[in-house]
Amino acid sequence: MERLQKVIANYGICSRRKAEELISKGHVTVNGKLVTTLGTTVSDKDIIEVDGERINKEQKEYILLFKPRGTVTTTHDDKGRKTVMDYIETDKRVYPVGRLDYDTTGVLLLTNDGELSNMLMHPKAEIEKVYIAKVKGILSGDEINRLKRGVVIDGRKTAPAKVKVQKVDKKAQTSIVEITIHEGRNHQVKKMFERVGHDVLKLKRERLAFLDLKGLKSGEYRYLKIKEVHQLYMLAKK
C-alpha cells in the first residue's frame, strides 16, 4: 500500500505536490469514490481516476533539454508564452524537474518518473547545480567569500557555495562567474549575487549533477542512457 499522491506522481501524471492539490480539490477518485483526504493509501488493484480519466502506468522517459532563453519551464502557459514542451516531441506526460527562469538557459531534466523527480528535488539529496553568470561589476575577494559562506535571501541563509571568477572585463565592468549550489530556491543565484551588490545580466546552468550540455545546441534535447538514470538514483539516495 502506498499514499495516493505518491502513486499519482509515480505514474507520471504530475509532481507529488500537484497530486496533493488535485486530491484536495476533488479531482481524484479511487474505485469510483471521490477521495479528498491526503494520506489515503491504495494498492495496485485499485482503480484511480483523475478528472474521470483512468491513470495507467507509462514507460519511464528521461529527457535532457538545453533550455533556450525566453522559455517558460512548465508544461503549459496561460499567457501563451513558449514552454519547454514546445522543443520536445513525446507522447509521454513528462514534466520539468525543478525550474529555470524565463531568461535562464541551460540544463533541464524532464521526466515522467515522479519518484526520481521528488528525490532529486529534495534538499537532502544535495544535487549539485553549476551555473555560469555574467554579472555587473567586478567582485571583490570579500564578496566572493560571502557567496561561498552563504548569504541571507528571503530571510534564510543559503548553504555554502563554490565560487570561481572565470573572466573579468574591466572596460565593460562585468564579470563571468561560475557558482555551484545544491539548493533550488526561487531565483536563488540571481538573489545571491544581488545580495552582494551585483546584478545578473545572463545566467546559464552548465551542469545538473553529472549531466551537462555536451553535444547539444540551444533548444535541442537527448534521452538519458540507462546508466545515467541509475547514476541519478544513486546520487539522490545518498
Average pLDDT over residues 56-72: 91
Q: Do domains 2-54 and 128-208 have the same CATH topology?
A: no
Rg (CA), the chain: 20
Tell me the pLDDT band of 35, cut-offs 50, 70 and 90.
very high
Q: Which residue among the candidates 101, 169, 199, 212 is catalytic per the annotation?
A: 101
Grouping H, G, I as helix, E, B as strand and the rest as coil, residue 178 is strand
CATH number of 128-208: 3.30.70.1560
The grid coordinates listed for 36 are: 479528498
**Distance, C-alpha 170 to centroid of its chain:** 34
Active-site residue flag, 169: no
Q: pLDDT for 87-131, tens place per residue? A: 999 988 899 999 999 999 999 999 998 889 989 998 889 999 999
CATH number of 62-123+211-237: 3.30.70.580
Nearest to 98 by CA among 90, 109, 88: 109
Nearest to 114 by CA among 216, 8, 21, 237: 8
Backbone angles phi, psi at 26, to 5 degrees: 80, 30
Q: What is the architecture of the domain spanning 2-54?
A: Roll (3.10)
Average pLDDT over residues 131-153: 97
Q: Where are the domains of the chain?
A: 2-54, 62-123+211-237, 128-208
Tell me the pLDDT band of 143, cut-offs 50, 70 and 90.
very high
Rounded CA gap, 96 and 221, in Å? 13
The grid coordinates listed for 225 are: 542512457
